[in-house]
């Protein structure tokens, strides 16, 4: 990502403090039930071009590899 580290640190801190994201055992972050409720409550919808994806070595994104 092309964001300065300081900006990302602040946003991650804020979202964790609000209980909207949590750190996973893998080191990544996941949205919590509270986070989903906030997004749903506000009716905020991101277009696919705005969603972050992480490519694994297999070439699948996290979203694709978790769907079974």
48: containing domain: 5-66
The Cα–Cα gap between 46 and 22 comes to 20
The Cα–Cα gap between 52 and 2 comes to 12
The Cα–Cα gap between 60 and 56 comes to 6
Q: What is the pTM of this model?
A: 0.56
- Give the number of domains in the chain: 1
| Segment holding 65, helix H or strand E | helix 62-66
pLDDT digits (tens, 9 = 90+) for 2-61: 778 888 899 999 999 999 999 999 988 999 999 988 888 877 766 676 666 666 555 544
**C-alpha distance from residue 50 to each of 7, 17, 25, 31 (Å):** 18, 23, 25, 16
């Amino acid at each position: 990502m092309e964001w300065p580290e300081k900006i990302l640190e602040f946003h991650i801190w804020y979202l964790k403090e609000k209980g909207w994201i949590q750190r996973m055992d893998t080191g990544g972050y996941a949205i919590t039930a509270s986070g989903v409720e906030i997004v749903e409550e506000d009716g905020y919808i991101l277009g696919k071009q705005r969603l972050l994806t992480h490519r694994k070595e297999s070439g699948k994104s996290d979203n694709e590899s978790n769907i079974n």
